Structure 1
Amino acid sequence: MDATNRPLRIPPEMGVYAEKEKVFELIQKMMERLLLDRPEDPIQYLIDHLKNNNDEVPRIFLLGPLASGKRTLATMLCKQLNCIHLTMENLLSDETSALVAEAYLYKKKGQEIPSELWTKLIQEHLSKVDCIKQGWVIEAFPQTREQALMLQMAGIVPEHVVILDAPDNVLLERNPGKRIDPTNGERYHTAFDWPSDPVIQQRLVVPEGTSEEQTGKRLLDYHRNLSGIINSYSKIFKKINVDQPYVDAFAQVLTFVQSRHRNAAPHTPRILLFGPPGSGKSLQAALMTQKYGIVNICSGQVLKEAVAGKTKLGELIKPYIENKQQVPDHIVVKLLAEHLSKLDSSTRGWVLHGFPQDLEQARKLNDLRFVPNRVFFLDIPDETVFERLSLRMTDPVTGDRYHSMYKPAPSMKVQLRLNQNPKHAEENLKMRLDMYHANVQDLESFYEGVIHVNADQDPHTVFEYIESFTIKPLPKPVLQ
């Protein structure tokens, strides 16, 4: 960047680097932890924080009423995300901890463990290396607003709070079916999770608190405290209905905890639209431009404008277009680079379609540091392509487009003078489709995090889907 030239123009690669390396989010996370933990040596603390490289690890509270499936879903989450599962029971499992010994003194006296002590126990576990490196899921805590505030004051702030929800009558039916294995503390259910081993079946016992009266009291306490907990985590919680198969409930929970929250980082859309002919790339790009002011760059239109403007590159391109030959890639890339480097493209963002069409073109675009942050593939069946394009005609007098099925000509006179674009002839469409299918897999592999869109539906429905993935942060990658 040359500071002597006005106006100052920030090179596009600076924004690409900042977004790729998540510079803004990294600084924001560092400042958050610094203010929460208030270390004596801030510089060394930040160095250690960077070494841990754990900003993306899960930090989840999984809450819900009794019999809502907290243990089952928390166990599945930890297995999927490879993180540590903390429960009220295993918080008291460390016999060497002075805090655990203090907690057992309360239990021996038949007293409740104070919230302050629970907070210290959680803080002690979260300071261990496995929780720092892998992340954690805390099950069934906090249970009151007071406990939530204590955790916040101790610097324990989750990324996501999942609140399981089901009608009380469903929970009242589920709770009596609980069983517990006294030898290892494993939990089972007579209807949903019954062990196949007869030996385990015989030693299962009914846990405390499963009577109808006890269940009703616990549900009443839960509902009394729920609003306070929600107010404490109003920006990061989501209710999940668990009155459905647990596999479906787990899918919703997993989707939520892998989402990213909005932040104040500047976001400049850089969008690539791929799809077979007739998939609606031009229409979707136009809709994005109309609503958000993003620069619409169509490779075919850019070539025509260069020829019409009689630029130096236009003069090179003109013979190829006149002879209906493909313009060499290095010329197209150079022309696109001019448009992508302009100030409006760098500041407002861009949506590019029609290029690249194969892996080699994608690499050339990438080498110039024009890296998209959203890549959409508009998927439609080949039959739909033929239906959309082979029946499309143009009126040479008015320039209006008609379609034999969806928008027929208003009169026979107009119908007789309609012309078909040679590109839309069936043999040409088949050739273009074959070319697209030959390259689509390579392009999918080249770009990370591609998003497939069903384009065989109403255009505005397609636009809403593209829009949602454009303005929201992309989810975290699914861990295998």
Structure 2
Amino acid sequence: MDATAKPLRIPPDMDIYAEKHEIFDLIHTLVRNLVVDKPADPIQYLIEMLKRENTEVPKIVLLGPPASGKSTIAKKLCEHTSAIHITASNILKDDSDLTRAAQEYTENNQEIPQELWIKLIQQRLSKVDCVRRGWVLDAIPKTREEALCLQEAGIAPEHVVMLQAPDAVLIERSLGKRIDPVTGDVYHLTFMWPDSLEVSQRLERPQGLISEEAIYHQVQAYHREAHGLQHTYESCLKIIDVDQPHVDVFAQVLTYILSRHHSAAPHTPRIILLGPPGSGKKLQARLLSDKYNLVNICCGELLKAVAADESSMGELINPFLESGRRVPDSMVLQILTERLSRLDCTMRGWILHGFPKDLDQAEALQETKFRPSRVFFLEMTDDVAVERLTLRAIDPVTGEGYHSLYKPAPSAEEHARLRYNPKNSETEVQNRLKDYWTHVSALQAFYPQAVQVNADQDPHTVFECLESRLVGRLPKVLTDRA
């Protein structure tokens, strides 16, 4: 940024840098923790937070009725995220004055006072392992009152998952539950039997197995508190039906806890649309541009505009365009970066289509300061692409576009004067498709976070798919914090 020039302008790479390193989210996390924890020395507190390898660790609450599979899901979550599995029993295993005081109540068959219980949870979550790696609270809290006390104590989860199932399913699961005495893992006679013969042979019935009537009363007791818990955590709650294969249940839970809540951080969309000829890139770019005021950049049209303005660069590329030869990548990239560096692209964001077409172009674009924040592949079969393109025609009088199947000319007179573009002949389309499929695998590998969208459907349905991924945040990437 040049402080001597007016008006002052933030360079376009500043926004990219801030998003890449999540500067705005980091500031949000620091300020939030500062307000919640209210440290005596705020500056030193912030310094210590910044010294951590990761300031955004998992903070998960897992709730559900008896036999809904909370412990199994919690263990698997901890394996995938390196978070610490926190249960009521392992909180009481700590050797401290608080735990000894709590154990006196349990030994006398008395309920631990809520104030003491909240302090115990605070004590456990303040340990180094939970601070650095995050935590999963298993069946904590049990009541709305307890949840509100945790919030007052500064314990606020980022994600709350509530498991649910019909009462009959829960009762059946309770009666068929089996425990591995070696690992403590929970299995079931019908729903989840171990693959290992050795494990299956050592499974035991849970100690103190209760009757069906007692299980029913436990489930009803949970239901009485569930509504209050839902209301308390409604802003970060996901309810998942567990009456399905446990693999599917865990996949849904993991997908949710890797999702990220809406951020108030400024975001300038930088979008690349890729796809075979006829997949609707130009239409979708226009729809997104119209709704979100993005700068719509079609690489082919941009080259034609530069060639027409009689500039030095236009004179260089004009022979290539007139002869139908491919413009050298270096020239295309120079023209493209100049366009992307203009103020409208910096302020409003942009959507690019027609570039890159191969891995070399993608790598060249990546080396510039103009990197996409979203990449979409519009997918369709060759048959559909051929049908879409070869049947297109234009009325030379009105300039209106028509299609023999989807949008036929309204009158015989207009139909008679339609003109078909030679570039849309079946032979030409097949050649363009062949060229696209030659490079698409390398492009998909280069953009691993790209989203594949089925383009063989109504254009507005495709637009909704693109829009949903545009406004939502990208999911977290798991890293080893152990």
After TM superposition, the score normalised by the length of structure 2 is 0.92
Tell me, yes or no, if the aligned pair for 1:279 and 1:380 is still in contact at 8 Å: yes
Structural mapping, 1:213-252, within 5 Å: 213-252=213-252
- Assess if the C-alpha contact under 8 Å between 2:62 and 2:139 holds in 1: yes
Change in Cα spacing, 1:323 to 1:38, as seen in structure 2 (3 Å) is same
* 1:376-414 Cα distance to aligned partner (Å, 9 max, x none): 111111222112112222233332222233233444544
Q: Per the alignment, in what secondary structure is the counterpart of residue 369 of structure 1? A: coil
More deviation, 142-151/372-381:
142-151
Aligned length: 477
Letter in 2 for 1:140: A
Q: How does 1:349-368 map to 2 (within 5 A)?
A: 349-368=349-368
**SS of alignment partner, residue 146 of structure 1:** helix
Deviation track 1:180-220 (CA, whole Å, cap 9, x = no partner) reads: 5678755443332456557534x524535x43443333333
Tell me the CA shift for residue 111 of structure 1. Answer: 0.7
1:316 corresponds in structure 2 to 316
Q: Which moved more, 1:217-226 or 1:173-182?
A: 173-182
Counting only pairs closer than 5 Å after superposition, residues 464-475 of structure 1 correspond to structure 2 as 464-475=464-475
Partners of 1:453 and 1:447 in 2: how far apart?
Answer: 14
User: In structure 2, what is the Cα distance between the partners aligned to 1:456 and 1:271?
Assistant: 21
The aligned counterpart of 2:52 is 52
Q: Whole-Å Cα distance in 1 between the matches of residues 185 and 357 of structure 2?
A: 55
Q: Does the 8 Å CA contact 1:180/1:207 hold for their aligned counterparts?
A: no
1:285–1:351: 8 Å Cα contact kept in structure 2?
Answer: yes
**Could you report, residue by residue, the CA deviation over 1:140-165 in whole angstroms, capped at 9, with x for unpaired residues?**
00011221122223322211000112
Deviation at 1:5, TM superposition (A): 3.5
CA 1:145/1:388 → structure 2, altered by over 3 Å: closer, same or farther? same
Residues 23-422 of structure 1 mapped to structure 2, 5 A cutoff: 23-94=23-94, 96-180=95-179, 186-194=185-193, 196=197, 200-201=202-203, 203-205=204-206, 207=208, 210-422=210-422
More displaced, 415-424 or 253-262?
A: 415-424
1:181–1:205 contact (8 Å) kept in structure 2: no
Deviation at 1:423, TM superposition (A): 1.8
Identity %: 53
Whether the 8 Å CA contact 1:178–1:207 is kept in 2: the answer is no
Name the amino acid aligned to 1:329: D
Q: Please report how far the alpha carbon of residue 175 of structure 1 lies from its aligned counterpart in structure 2 after TM superposition.
A: 2.8
Distance in 1 (alpha carbons) for counterparts of 2:24 and 2:68: 38
Gaps of 5+ in 1: none
Structure 1 residues 178 and 127, CA gap change in structure 2 (3 angstroms):
same
Q: State the 1:255 CA deviation.
A: 1.1
Distance of 2:176 and 2:365 partners within structure 1: 61
Secondary structure of 1:235's counterpart equals helix
- Distance in 2 between residues matched to 1:133 and 1:110, nearest whole Å: 35
Secondary structure at 2:65 match in 1:
coil
Change (3 A) 1:41 1:429: same
CA distance in structure 2 between the partners assigned to 1:442 and 1:188 by the alignment: 43
8 Å Cα contact 1:179-1:207 kept in structure 2: no
Please provide the CA RMSD for this pair.
2.4
CA distance in 1, matches of 2:133, 2:182: 29
Shift of 1:261: 0.5
- How far apart are residue 263 of structure 1 and its match? 1.6
| Aligned-partner SS, 1:89 | helix
1:424 deviates by 1.5
TM-score between both structures, scaled by the size of structure 1? 0.92
Query: C-alpha separation between the residues in 1 aligned to 2:396 and 2:478?
Result: 52
Measured against aligned partners, the alpha-carbon deviations of 1:72-120 in whole angstroms (never above 9, x if no partner) come to 22122222223221122222334x3333332221111011122333323
CA contact (8 A) 1:182 1:204 kept: no
In the alignment, the residues of structure 1 paired with residue 208 and residue 421 of structure 2 have an alpha-carbon distance, to the nearest angstrom, of: 75
- Look up the SS of the partner of 2:229 in the other structure: helix
Q: Aligned to 1:300, what secondary structure does the other structure show?
A: helix
Matched residues in 2 for 1:344 and 1:205: separation? 66
Deviation at 1:416, TM superposition (A): 4.1
- Cα deviation for residue 264 of structure 1 reads 0.9
CA distance in 2, matches of 1:228, 1:58: 23
Q: Which residue of 1 aligns with 2:463?
A: 463
Question: For 1:40-74, what per-residue CA distance to the aligned partner results, in whole angstroms no more than 9, with x for missing partners?
Answer: 22222212211212233321100011121111221
Equivalent in the alignment of 1:444: 444
Q: Is the 8 A contact 2:276 2:436 kept in 1?
A: yes
Aligned to 2:19: 19
Measured at CA, do residues 182 and 342 of structure 1 come closer, stay the same or move farther in structure 2, by a change above 3 Å?
closer
**1:257–1:5 Cα change, 3 Å:** same
Q: Secondary structure at the match of 2:346?
A: helix
The 1:179–1:331 alpha-carbon spacing in structure 2 relative to 1, beyond 3 Å, is closer
State the one-letter code of the partner of 1:477. V
When structure 1 is superposed on structure 2, of 301-310 and 178-187 the one drifting more is: 178-187
For residue 88 of structure 2, give the secondary structure of its aligned residue in structure 1.
coil
Compared with structure 1, are the counterparts of its residues 186 and 330 closer, same or farther at alpha carbon in structure 2 (3 Å cutoff)?
closer
CA drift at 1:479: 6.3
CA distance in 2, matches of 1:127, 1:136: 10
Which stretch shows the higher mean deviation, 293-302 or 80-89? 80-89
SS at match of 1:313: helix
Answer whether contact 1:54 1:132 (CA < 8 A) is retained: no
Structure 2 gap ranges (5+)? none
Mapped to 2, the partners of 1:277 and 1:186 lie a distance apart of: 52
Partner Cα distance (1:213, 1:400) in 2: 73
| 8 Å contact from structure 1 (residues 80, 479) kept in 2 | no
Q: Compared with structure 1, are the counterparts of its residues 184 and 411 closer, same or farther at alpha carbon in structure 2 (3 Å cutoff)?
A: closer
Residue pair 1:62, 1:74 contacting (<8 A) in 2 also? yes
- Compare 399-408 and 57-66 and name the one that shifted more: 399-408
Distance 1:110 1:182 in 2: 26
Q: What is the identity, as a one-letter code, of the residue corresponding to 1:126?
A: L
| Contact 2:299/2:353, CA 8 A, preserved across alignment | yes
